[in-house]
A = this chain, B = another copy of it.
Amino acid sequence: MEEKAGKEVKQLLGTTVENKQVIFKGYIEGIPKETDMELKIGKTMNLEKVPKGSNGSLVKNLYLSCDPYMRGRMRDFTGSYLPPFTPGEVIEGFGVSKVLDSDNPDFKPGDIISGFTGWEEYSLIYKTEQLRKIQADDMPLSYHVGLLGFTAYAGFYEVCAPKRGDYVFVSAASGAVGQLVGQLAKLHGCYVVGSAGTKQKVDILKDRLGFDGAFNYKEETDLDKALKRHFPEGIDIYFDNVGGSMLDAALLNMRIHGRIAICGMVSQQSLSNPQGIHNLFMLITKRVKMQGFLQSDYLHLFPQFLEDVTSLYKQGKITYLEDMNEGLESGPSAFVGLFSGQNIGKQVIRVAHH
């Protein structure tokens, strides 16, 4: 396998290939549309050796991650933790790639790496300090896109401070992050209920992911009542993936000293004037801690996470749902689909099989 990969790498170097790209057309308002991106076909790239002293890496992209946070880079706002995309340039995102050549000594041709790359078939990456070499671990390569759910792990253990027996509510529970939060909570001895937007997803939560309960938020006329039905004793931990009215309803149902992890706010990403949250006085009444977080603040925990989650996966104690779209061409529709809940599990684009 490694030998074969090495051979392909050698065959590619020095050739000129077509390099399809997905271009960011310009800053947007509202929910992303496919036409906000453009598939550029026909551009070629010379796969030459990386110049000495550049510290760069030339890669072939295999898998790309579709994530709601990317919407935040589609507006002209520089105050966030990642800069806006550049209009007319390739979209940047997390991916799994194969190294063809590298001036950075940490990576050698044939290595499989994860990190920020471009939405294109081949990329020359200069910010190589953010790349991470994937060690062979019998996990499907695509699972390494999105760091195998490290956001879920960091948020659940570090922000939510879970205790056995806690009542845990997860919104967007069949999504990339939610699915793992719920399963980690179950393994931790918590009672877990999730919300999702279709009957199929609700069934998956209960039947495949082992949630104690689940509901379709689109079928509830009163989210507060829905939560009271599922949590008559109240909620200790709310892992919030959506923000908006679900957050407001959850605030009304928190128990004393409850914790709310704020992750993604997918329902609010597209709003230039985000929905108001009205029930923050419950933070006082119930002495609730509400905390936003980014997985990048917890990277010191990544090795432990990798060991834990790989082991759980191999033992069959964790199910990982992946929504795989074939081909870079499918990127724009896959990304847009995140905002109407088209995906079940982690949304990935396969650019190439190897």
Chain A residues at the B interface, C-beta cutoff of 8 Å: 79-81, 243, 247, 257, 262-265, 268-269, 273-294, 297
9 more contacts with CB within 8 A, not counting A273-B278, A287-B291, are A79-B285, A262-B283, A275-B276, A280-B292, A281-B292, A283-B292, A284-B292, A287-B292, A288-B291
Interface centre among A79, A283, A284 (most CB of B within 10 A): A284
Name the residue on B nearest A247 (C-beta): B280
On whether A265 and B292 interact (CB within 8 A), knowing A275-B278, A276-B275, A277-B277, the answer reads no
Are B284 and A274 interface neighbours, CB within 8 A? Answer: no
Hey, which chain B residues are within 8 Å of A292, CB to CB? 280-288
User: A264–B283 Cα gap in the complex (Å)?
Assistant: 10
Q: CB < 8 Å: which of B268, B281, B287 contacts A265? A: B281
- Copies of the chain in the assembly: 2
Q: CB < 8 Å: which of B275, B276, B284, B291 contacts A283? A: B291
Name the residue on B nearest A294 (C-beta): B287
Are B287 and A289 interface neighbours, CB within 8 A? Answer: no
Are B284 and A262 interface neighbours, CB within 8 A? Answer: yes
- Can you report 29 residue pairs joining A to B where beta carbons are below 8 Å apart? A80-B285, A81-B286, A243-B280, A262-B280, A262-B283, A262-B284, A264-B284, A265-B281, A265-B284, A268-B281, A269-B281, A274-B278, A274-B281, A275-B276, A277-B277, A277-B278, A277-B280, A281-B292, A282-B292, A283-B290, A283-B291, A283-B292, A284-B292, A284-B293, A286-B292, A287-B291, A287-B293, A287-B294, A288-B292
Q: CB < 8 Å: which of B81, B243, B274 contacts A285? A: B81
Distance from A20 Cβ to chain B, minimum over Cβ atoms (Å): 32
User: A320–B87 Cα gap in the complex (Å)?
Assistant: 57
Hey, which chain B residues are within 8 Å of A277, CB to CB? 276-278, 280
Distance from A277 Cβ to chain B, minimum over Cβ atoms (Å): 5
User: A264–B281 Cα gap in the complex (Å)?
Assistant: 8
User: A281–B269 Cα gap in the complex (Å)?
Assistant: 8
User: A243–B278 Cα gap in the complex (Å)?
Assistant: 11
User: A283–B291 Cα gap in the complex (Å)?
Assistant: 6
Hey, which chain B residues are within 8 Å of A243, CB to CB? 280-281
Hey, which chain B residues are within 8 Å of A291, CB to CB? 283, 287-290
Interface centre among A243, A289, A297 (most CB of B within 10 A): A289
Name the residue on B nearest A80 (C-beta): B285
On whether A274 and B279 interact (CB within 8 A), knowing A286-B292, A291-B290, the answer reads yes
Hey, which chain B residues are within 8 Å of A284, CB to CB? 262-265, 292-294
Name the residue on B nearest A263 (C-beta): B284
Hey, which chain B residues are within 8 Å of A263, CB to CB? 284
Hey, which chain B residues are within 8 Å of A273, CB to CB? 278
Hey, which chain B residues are within 8 Å of A80, CB to CB? 285
User: A283–B292 Cα gap in the complex (Å)?
Assistant: 5
Hey, which chain B residues are within 8 Å of A274, CB to CB? 278-281
Are B290 and A290 interface neighbours, CB within 8 A? Answer: yes
